[in-house]
Amino acid sequence: MKLLKSSLALVGAASIFCSVYGIDEQQFYDNCRSHISAVAQTVVTKITELSELSDLDTTKVGYGQGTIKDDKNRPVGATDFNARYGMYDATAIGDENEKVIYLTFDQGYENGYTEKILDTLKEKNVKATFFVVGDYARRNEELVRRMIDEGHTVGNHSMSHYSMPDLTPQECEEEINSLHGYVLDNFDYEMTLFRPPMGEFSEQSLAVTQSCGYRTMLWSFAYCDWDVNNQPDAAQAKAKLIDNAHNGAVYLLHSVSSTNAQILGEVIDELRAKGYSFG
């Protein structure tokens, strides 16, 4: 009875609304039915997608490019990742025919070096990708705004930095979409690249990322630069970055590293001298 009374009240209100604003009442009801139908179809589609995702492999994989390389100095682990998971818009290395290097930085927390790194990138006219987590975006609005204003790519590194394969598909989606929404609302910027925390993924988590409209980007070169209490020697670190260059290289760096801030300009100059450009 309550539902009937509510329905009659809504019909009456709609009739008055149409009369006041000169709207055709039948057209109004037809539009409402069309909208409700579209919403219902979206819900059904989403439920179907989540059901299909639940059937995918949930085995956790800890990514690493490995030490085995092909005759082009490209890590086999990265090229194998592309071949196996490319169907999920996931990549660890770029085109083998392009002498391009992609600089990417994971932004877990701020350690005072990002401003210097941004200064160097601006001086050298190089664009990079910065993968931010939710806490970083909230605490360092000026740096994130500068990244965007200076033409860098801001990527999604999840809201809370959880291991994605430990989560349900719904939880994975929330980790990605909640940060997406925050950055869109606060910076008017729409992210499109995702890097799973710790490089851990499963087939299912990659598929969830794709369903959120994102491409997954891992890396084809990384070195131990994240331990702030055990920073690598500058000369040795620079040699590693230069010696491991390859076509389509995706470098994973961390802006908490004092060594990275120190050597970045020289690395860019030497890689350019070897004929590389930066994507």
Q: Which residues are catalytic?
A: 106, 254
From residue 275, give the alpha-carbon distance in Å to each of 97, 121, 177, 202, 208. 13, 18, 39, 36, 38
Phi, psi of 124 (to 5 degrees): -90, 0
Phi, psi of 18 (to 5 degrees): -65, -40
What is residue 229's three-state secondary structure?
coil
Q: Which amino acid is at 265?
A: G
Q: Which amino acid is at 81?
A: F
| Cα 3 from Cα 106, distance rounded (Å) | 53
CB atoms under 10 Å from CB of 24, counted, come to 10
| Cα 204 from Cα 208, distance rounded (Å) | 6
| Cα 43 from Cα 73, distance rounded (Å) | 47
Place of tokens 């891992």: 218
